[in-house]
A = this chain, B = another copy of it.
Amino acid sequence: MRASQFFIATQKEAPSDAELISHQLMVRAGLIKKLGSGLYSWMPLGLRVLRKVEHIVRDEMNKAGALELLMPAVQPKELWEETGRWAVFGPQMLKIQDRHARDFCFGPTHEEVITDIARKEINSYKQLPLNFYQIQTKFRDEIRPRFGVMRAREFLMKDAYSFHTSADCLVNTYQAMHTAYSNIFTRLGLKFRAVKADSGAIGGDGSQEFHVLADSGEDALAYCEQSDYAANVELAEAVASGQRAAASEAMREVDTPKQTACEAVAGLLELPVSRTVKSVALMVDEVFTLALLRGDHQLNEVKFGKLAGVTTFRLATEEEIRAHLNCPPGFIGPVGVSDKVRVIADRTVALMSDFVCGANKPKFHLAGVNFGRDLPEPVVVADIRNVVAGDMSPDGKGQLSLCRGIEVGHIFQLRTKYSEAMQATYLDENGQTQVMEMGCYGIGVSRIVGAAIEQGNDDKGIVFPLSMAPFAVVICPIGLDKSDAVKQAAFTLYTALQQAGVDVLLDDRGERPGVMFAESDLMGIPHRIVIGDRGLAQGEVEYKGRTDAEAQNLQVTECVAFLRDKLGQ
C-alpha cells in the first residue's frame, strides 16, 4: 500500500475520555474513530489490524473442525422467553420493537438462536458432535462504556456453540477449543494465560477464561512461570508447603501498647510478619468464629464462603468481639478462647510454630505460641487465603507470580442448560429421545486489539506483534521528491517486497523524516527501512525494528532477504 493512496490520520492529542493507554493510542494512531458512547468506527488502518486477528481466529477454528455460519444480529423475544433470559438478562440487552410492535433484541449472545437451529436441524446421534461458530457484531448496552474497544457497546465477537451426545464428547471438544484458543493467542504473539473461572452452579472444570496479561487488566491473576497453571487470584489454590517445626520457644506475653496490626507487632518484636498470626473475627451463620491467617496473608472470601457448613458470614462487630473475647479488636487471638468460639485455621497457619498472636488482653500479644501446647490443634484447617507471589503453584511445578489480565476469551461447558429449556433433543442409537450436551466458546475479537496494545506499547506508541500489525514493514524514503535515486530505490524495494508477499507500506507522502518515523512508530509498524541519498551512495539503506535501540545499515541487495528472514517467511 502506498501511503498517498491510503488514509493515515494520526492525531497529537488523546481524547479526554480515554483512560487506558490502548484507548489513547488507538485514537491517536487513527485506528478507530468515536461515533458515540461505546460506538467506534474502525478506520482503514484499524480494520487491517482487526481483520488480521479475525483471520487467525477463523483459521484456528476451522482447523479445529468448527463450522462457520452467520446468524442474524436481530433476535425475536420469543426464543429468549423459552430460556427465561428475556426477563433476567438485564439492561445490557438492547431491546427493539419493529414496525409491527413485535419485540426483538440486538443479540448480545446467541445461545438461544443456535439452540433453535440445533433442535430443528439435528435429529440423530449420527449428526453429532457439531461445533458451529460465527464472527459477528454484537451489542451489549454497557451502563458505562469505556476503555475504547475494550468495553464498547458494539463489538466484534467470535462465538462458537457445540452439541454432543455425551458429557465426555463435550469435554473432548472443550479441550479442542482450549487448544485452538492457545494456538490463536500464540499465533497472535500475545502473552496470555488460560485461567480457571468460577463456573458457579455448573462446577468442576467447566469454564476457563483466557486472559492477555497486562498491568491495566481488570482481573488479578496468579500464574506459574514454570507451567501453564493460572487462575483468578480469588480462585487460585494456596498450597501450604513443608512441615510444622517443633516448638522451640516458651509462650510469653509481650507488651504491645499501641501495636494492633501484625506489621506493627512484628516491627516492635523485630520479627518478620510471617511469624505472626492474625485472627479475623467473623460471624459464620451467626456463630462467632476466628479465622486464623498468617499476618501477611489476606482472607479470601470466595474460598471461605465455599467451606463446608458455611452458608453466610460477615465480619463480627466490635461489640460481638468484646462479648465473646472480653477484649477489643487488635489484641484478639485463639489462645484460651471458650469452646463456643469456632476456630478455622488457614493451611499455612496450621504449619506454623513459635508464632505471635493477640493475647485477648488489651495492649498485649503472645509470642512463642504453639498449637497442641498453648492452644488446641485447629479442628478446621482450610485454604481460606489469597495466594501471594512466591507461593508454590498448586501443580507443584514452580512458584506463583501475580499479574493482571484482560479477559479475551471464555470457554464453557454449558451442559444441558439451554438444550433442556428449549428441548433440543436427538434420537440415540436405541431410538430414545435425549437432550443434547452443549458447550460455548467466545472470543472478543475487537477487544483483542485493545488488549494487545495494553500489553505492547512504549513512549512512542503501539508495539504490535507482527501477526496483527497494520503493515509488517514501512519504507520511509527521505527526499522522495528531490532525489530520483531515492525514488527509484524506494519503489523498487516496495515492488520487490510486494512480490515477496510482504505487507508493506510505502510512505510516499513526501513528509519529513521526523513525521514519518513518529507516525509509523505510533501505528506500531514492526519493521522500518529508511532510504536516503547518503546511504544509497554506499549501496545501503537503514533498518530499524520497532523496539530496537539503534538502527543498522543493510546492503540494498540483501534487504528483501533480510526482511523475509525477520518476518519468518
Contacts and interface: CB of A to CB of B under 8 A. Distances in A.
This chain's copy number in the assembly:
2
Given A40-B72, A99-B91, A99-B143, A6 B67 contact: yes
Contact of A94 (B91, B98, B116, B136): B98
A153 interface: yes
A39 B121 contact: no
Contacts of A65: 5
A32 to B, nearest CB: 10
A36 interface: yes
A47 B116 CA distance: 18
A50 interface: yes
Interface stretch (A73-81, A173-181, A285-293, A386-394): A73-81
A308 interface: no
B99 A96 contact: no
A41 B96 contact: no
A59 to B, nearest CB: 14
A42 interface: yes
B72 A43 contact: no
Given A113-B35, A139-B74, A69 B41 contact: yes
A154 B98 CA distance: 12
A106 interface: yes
A180 to B, nearest CB: 15
Interface in A89-106: 91, 94, 96, 98-99, 104, 106
A271 interface: no
A501 to B, nearest CB: 16
A7 interface: yes
Contact of A44 (B33, B35, B67, B104): B67
A300 interface: no
B72 A35 contact: yes
Contacts of A132: 7, 44
Given A9-B121, A106-B96, A113-B41, A47 B69 contact: yes
A134 to B, nearest CB: 8
Interface residues on A, range: 35 or more
Given A35-B116, A121-B33, A70 B98 contact: no
Given A94-B98, A121-B33, A132-B44, A74 B154 contact: yes
A204 to B, nearest CB: 29
A41 B76 contact: no
Of listed A40, A44, A65, A153, residue having the most chain B CB within 10 A: A44
Interface string A99-131: 100001010000001001100110000010010
Interface string A461-474: 00000000000000
Nearest to A39: B72
Contacts of A253: none
Contacts of A6: 67
Contacts of A113: 35, 41
Contact of A106 (B7, B41, B106, B143): B106
A60 interface: no
A68 interface: yes
A94 B94 contact: no
A160 B72 CA distance: 23
Contacts of A40: 72
Given A99-B143, A106-B106, A130-B7, A72 B41 contact: yes
A141 interface: yes
B44 A69 contact: yes
A274 interface: no
A96 B94 contact: yes
Contacts of A44: 67-69, 132
Contact of A72 (B69, B96, B141, B154): B154
A35 B75 contact: yes
A137 interface: yes
A441 to B, nearest CB: 16
A240 interface: no
B43 A69 contact: yes
Interface string A451-469: 0000000000000000000
A68 B75 CA distance: 28
A71 interface: yes
A419 B70 CA distance: 35
A75 B127 CA distance: 41
Of listed A99, A106, A121, residue having the most chain B CB within 10 A: A99
Given A42-B69, A47-B69, A73-B139, 10 more contacts: A35-B116, A43-B69, A47-B70, A73-B73, A74-B153, A74-B154, A98-B153, A99-B141, A106-B106, A137-B137
6 contacts: A7-B130, A36-B74, A44-B68, A73-B137, A98-B153, A99-B143
